[in-house]
Structure 1
């Protein structure tokens, strides 16, 4: 599988871990997870999937830039031979309600399909109803029996989408 890095496309750029433009995405996600799930789960989620997992040839880390500012991003990595796992989907709070999340979701799907994947898998947390609604309205189907339960009754649920 090979996710081609290259020049900016419709405001998206594929970046390597350590690129300073990833900082708003990583810090924003961390703050979001801590606010919704508390410091323990928030820190665990970010550490469990380090950005190094999302590099070519099996994955990609991409940012959506507006005027050189990171306003959104997402990543994918190899889950199995035909499945990419989508992670780190994020839109900056000041840029929400503008359709950016849909664009951020579509671009890793496009790159994953170009890399040879035929399916996308992802999980979202029970305290992220906006993400749940985005995935469902974008053609993702919940996967029964994939919920992982954490202390305090928090859980995540898996979704899948078959790529064309």
Structure 2
């Protein structure tokens, strides 16, 4: 069994099953509360170009050539990237894949010159909340708030820039391909 990260685009055919699974997950967890009639599905709210270098990126975690996880980020502001679509195949959960994707995205965010990450996750995704809290993200919502009230749960994290990178890397450098 071999695993590799591949930087690509949400339009890559290998990403389609994961993104459809994510769309299904959003629909089953949130279909009754978040989407207004006529609005695009959450998965379709952001065009692919926002997840392209130099301001963003999209990564797939391939296992034996098949996408088992993935994620993306886009520019939030000059020093901040916003994570989107951190996801693993529904049948492969609890194997640490989301952690692998999160760590790879953090490394790529740094390689592209950002110093901070922000993100939101849904109020019906306790697995995601635990992932982010367990990896040093600060919750920007009250821990005693009724989870049905805020709807979107924001997080942030200041990244530690390695000394060698902070001295030598240009801002928003070309994406490193693996």
Partner residue in 1 for 2:48? 51
2:72 is aligned with 1:75: yes
Deviation at 1:23, TM superposition (A): 0.3
2:90 is aligned with 1:97: no
2:75 is aligned with 1:62: no
2:107 is aligned with 1:110: yes
| Structure 2 unaligned regions, length at least 5 | 143-147, 161-178
Deviation at 1:143, TM superposition (A): 1.5
Deviation at 1:43, TM superposition (A): 4.5
Partner residue in 1 for 2:6? 13
- Determine helix, strand or coil for the equivalent of 2:11: coil
Partner residue in 2 for 1:36? 29
Pick one of 7, 19, 38 that aligns with 1:26.
19
TM-score by length of 2: 0.78
Do 1:28 and 1:92's aligned partners in 2 also have CA atoms closer than 8 Å? Answer: yes
Q: Over residues 102-158 of structure 1, what are the superposed CA-to-partner deviations in whole Å (9 max), with x where a residue is unaligned?
A: 00111111000010000000000100000001000011001248xxxxxx8560111
Do 1:34 and 1:43's aligned partners in 2 also have CA atoms closer than 8 Å? Answer: no
- Alpha-carbon RMSD across the aligned residues, in angstroms, is 1.9
Q: Over residues 66-119 of structure 1, what are the superposed CA-to-partner deviations in whole Å (9 max), with x where a residue is unaligned?
A: 011110000001000000000000000111111111001111110000100000
Do 2:23 and 2:41's aligned partners in 1 also have CA atoms closer than 8 Å? Answer: no
| Structure 1 unaligned regions, length at least 5 | 1-9, 146-151
Provide the C-alpha distance between the structure 2 equivalents of 1:22 and 1:72, rounded to a whole number of angstroms: 9
Partner residue in 2 for 1:162? 158
- Determine helix, strand or coil for the equivalent of 2:110: helix
Provide the C-alpha distance between the structure 2 equivalents of 1:119 and 1:154, rounded to a whole number of angstroms: 23
Q: Over residues 31-58 of structure 1, what are the superposed CA-to-partner deviations in whole Å (9 max), with x where a residue is unaligned?
A: 1100100176395322222332100111
Do 1:123 and 1:159's aligned partners in 2 also have CA atoms closer than 8 Å? Answer: yes
Give the structure with higher Rg (CA): 2
